[in-house]
Each structure stands twice: as C-alpha cells, then as structure tokens.
Structure 1
Amino acid sequence: MVWSQWIRRRALVGIVGLWAATGAPTAHAAGPASAGQRITDKIGEADGARTDGRLAEAARLYGDAHALIQGSEEYRGTGVALDVVLQAARLYREAFKASARDYALCRESEALLDAFVADLRGRGQAVPSTVSDEQAWVAECLADAPAPAVPVVSEPVQTTPAEPTPDEPSTAPESTVVPPSPEPDDHPDPTDDTEPRGRALPIALVGGGGAAAVTGAVLLAVGLPLRARADDYRSEVLGSPEYLQRGPQDRAAIEAALGSYVDDERRRGVALMASGGAVLGLGVAAVIVGSIQLARARPGRRDRSARARLDPQLVLRPGRLSVGASLRF
C-alpha cells in the first residue's frame, strides 16, 4: 500500500511536469509552463511533509497546489486536479485520526471538497464517487463536532432623561439620573417570600423540642420503676424455697449480692430519671420558644408578640429535678 501511494504521487508529479512541458499552446508558452512548475514544486513540498509525518501540513500544501491548478485553465478540471484533491482529503482524514479530534481539519477538508465539486458542476462534469465518499466522511466527522460558540454582543441600554421645564433648565448631566430609593416599610408585606425562611427556625425548634420531650419522658418512664423492680426481685429471692434451704454462709453471700444489685439499679434509675428530666425540660423549653417565634412570625401578631418574654426555670434538688418556664406579655 505504501509503495502504491508513493508511485501514485511520483506519477502525479510527472504528469504535471509533462503537461507543463508539452500541453501548453505556443502563444502562452511562458505562462502555463511557469504555472506547471509552481504546481510541481508545491506537490513536491507536500510529498516531503507527508514523508516527515506532518500530515496536516501536507494536506494544506496539496490544497495550495489545487488553488494553483484552479488558477490555470490548462489544468483546471483535469485528472491532475482530482488526484490533488483526493490526496489532500485523505491526508486530512489521517491527520484528524492522529490528532485529538481536531475538527478544524474536517472543516478545511470540507471547504476544499466543496470548492472542487462546485467547479465540476460549473463545468457540467459529474462528481466522482471517490469525492462523494470523502464528502460523506467529512459530514460524519462534523456531525460529532461541537457547535461553535456564538459571541454574545450586549446592546447598550439608552436611557431617556427627563426633559427640563422651560422655567428651570436642567444643569445635571443626562447620564446621572438616579431614581429615588423607596422608604423602608414598617409593615412588611405578608406575602413576602422571606416569610417562609423566617419560620424555618421556629418550626425546627418546635419539632426538635417535641422529639426531645418524648425522649425525656421515655427515659423517665424507664428509670422510675427500676428501684421497685429490684426490691421485688430481692423479696422474691429471699422468700424462695431454694434460698431457705441454703446454709448461713450462702444466705449471707446471696443477701450481699442482692444488696449490691439493688443499689446498682437504684443508681441506674436515678441517672436515667435525671437525664430524662433534663432532656424533657430542654424539649419543653424549645417547644415554647419555637411557639413564641411562630406566633411572632404570623402577620398582624408581631406587635403583640414582640413584648412576649420567656423566663425558663430550672431547679435541681437532691433526688428531684424541676424544669419549668413562665411566659409573660
């Protein structure tokens, strides 16, 4: 495949040189001969770039050779032009595959093929299938290309200044018209969108306080009967036949173990009740504070609820925890 392409390129250069040497009329011997030489030199540069692996540059050089051919009536629309265009299109394809999907190469190939096809149709010639195949590949390539960014141009906004009265001409610049700022409203609109955000914290306090109150009540309910249950268990063991059949030493050991068990349960019950009372008190306080905040957030109730004051009361006594709150207006 490589040798066939090399032979084809060499034959292409030879055809152009032969055409330049023998195919021109005598009256225009200098012009076409120099055009043919330029075409031959450009194709030679493209061959060198392709040999060095510079595929995109080689494709563009073949495109330059096609531009020279289009400028000469002797070579325009001939098989030489077709071969040059096909070489450029195939090199564009190879360069695109070797690059990181440079869609600019596909657009350059599209422009070259469109110009060649337009020239063929202008001459009434049919489009070769090989050219149609290259156009199909270019269309498939550009179908995946991202859309080019369209620059957004913002138009300047023109403001119309107020016309001065005939008695008092305006001396202020036209661009310094500043509208008066509105006065702050002491009575905000009840439909203001900031109202839901102001109610979020009170709702959270009421919900969290309710959950804490329930948790504290559960802890109180669990810790309160522990001492009584331990005493009942102790009485049950001491009155059982198995205990009465034991010796004095075993009875003393069992009574000591039962006493330790009852003390542990009592301490555990006290700890649970203390924790439950504290959590319950905090939960109730949170519910009260949240309710007050919700009342203040209601439209028409702010002036009255603004004077509301919550006085929490927490009294810790030996064996008892008292939690309360007083609401004053």
Structure 2
Amino acid sequence: MDGKAPEKALANTDHHFLIGAMAYWEACMAFVVDQPKNVVQYLYPFSRPTEITYIHMFAGISLPLFVTLARVGICVRQNKVLRNMAALGWRDKDAYQSFASEVLQDAVALEQWAVDYHLPADETFDTKSLGSSTYHQLKAFAHMCKFSILLELLRNFPSLLDSEVDHAKPSQTNNLSVSQTTRLDRWYFDLSGAILKHAKDIPEGSTCGLYQTILLIICGSVLRPSKDTRTSFPKDMRANEKLEAQVLSTLARQDELDERRAFVRRRLQTNCASFGLRQVYSRAELLLEDVWREFDSGSNEADNLPSNRHWIDVMTELKLETFFG
C-alpha cells in the first residue's frame, strides 16, 4: 500500500466505516484469543498519520491507537505464552529465546510509537461542524487509548521501565526488589490516574462511553492497595527509594483507591444501563471485582504487579470471555 493509499481508503465513507470497525474489533478481541501478530498486519498502514483526520463512529479520532492496541493485545498474550513455556522448562531452548526476543522487540517498538504519538490537530478534522464539547470528548477518548496502551505494555514488560529487569527471565520478574516494585507501582498508579482523568471528561451516557470497556478493564486491573510503609525497609535501600515508597503510600491510600474503583464501577454500570449491553458490561464488572477481591485478600503472594495474575488469567478462569467493546 503506497503512502497515499490509507488517505484514499479513509476518504471513502464505506471503506472508512469498515476499517474503523475492524480496528475496533481487532483491538478488543486481541486480548481474548491467542493469535499471531500478522493477523492485524492489514491494518498497519492506518496507524500512520493522515493529512485529514476522519472521525469514526466507533473509533472517533483514535483509529491509529486502536490498531496499536490490537498489536499490544497480541503481544501481551504472546508474553503469557512465554511464561507458560518457561514453566515447562523451555527457557534454555533456542526457540524460546528467539520468541522472547521477538516479543520484547515488538513491545519496545509499540511503547516508542505510543510515547511519540500526538493527537491530530483540530484543523485536520474532516468535520468542522462539531461542537467544542464533542471535540473535547474525542480527544479525551484518544488520550484514554494512548495511556491504556502504555499501561498494559509497562505492566507486562517491566523491563521497558527498568533496564535491570531481564524480560527473558520470568524468575527475575517474580523477585523484584522493593525499590523496583515501588518504581513500577508509581508508574501504574500515575497512568491509571491519567486514564481516569480523561474518562471523567466524557459525560456519563455519552456515545464515547460505549467504547471504553476494554480501556476501563486495563485501567481497573492495576488498582491495588499500596504496600504498608510502616514496616522496615531493606538495609541496602537508599533514602530516595524509601521516600519514593512513602510518597506512593500517601498518594495511593485506600480512599483514593476506593474512589478510582468506584468511578470505574459506576462507569461500567452506566454504560450497561445506557446502551443495553448488559452481558458485556456485567462480565467486565465481574472480572474487575474478582481482580480487586484477589488484591484485597492478599491471596496472590506476589509483591509486584507484573507477577500477579493478569486480568486475562482471571477472565479465562471464570469463563468471562466476550467482546469487551
């Protein structure tokens, strides 16, 4: 596909609808089923910026972000396959090392793309008659997509944040130091807060709210209590690392956690009532409630979030798979 082909395809109303719908579908289903990364390769050209920004009824102005979210979902599930392979003794096999390297390279490239991605300027929008509030909501939704991409990547690939973590060694991820865990938790806390800040800019009942489910799941799945900093720190922990842990404990206190969870729960319930998709939203809510219950009960012994059961594991175990659109 040449450089102008995506622009030409999107300029056609029927083609634009199908392309946006498929990107939206692929992004949601990528987290539900295992598949090779080339299944979404047909959408890669639409992750590049175009001279005109075409507004889609599903994707809004976020078509490139949905294409990338689909790639992230595939990457995350491939990472889970790697963990299963390691548990079966494949870690020293050439096939494992090659696959692990490829998956990590994909994660690095996706993170770089997301960090560098900038929302299109207002003057590029193909529709000039939208009210200012609609523009604001479209941008808020796009920001939710961007930060959800980054949160899911960093949650599954902590080596993107900490070069000392060897992604090819799951055992190392399971034994992160207190300072490494605190640093990661702070990023997860800040990114989830960024997602919810933009979600609050979208009124309840807005049509943009219909397409938030997968983003709210990603955001909600990291809302866990911070570690109690009243306990003693390791002797080799530096003063700035202790301070970082204490600050996080203050910011991510229980009332803040409860408030964030309540917002996610309320938004899912509102979408359920507003759009009549009770089965989808009730499954999403059940999924998050079980994730939170596990966090609160301490039934998962892992101290760091990357080693905790992923929300995909909970979804699979409880047979809650569905199209989380």
TM-score under structure 2 length normalisation: 0.32
**Higher normalized contact order (CA 8 Å, seq sep 6+, divided by chain length):** 2
Structure with more of its chain in strand, by fraction: 1
TM-score under structure 1 length normalisation: 0.31
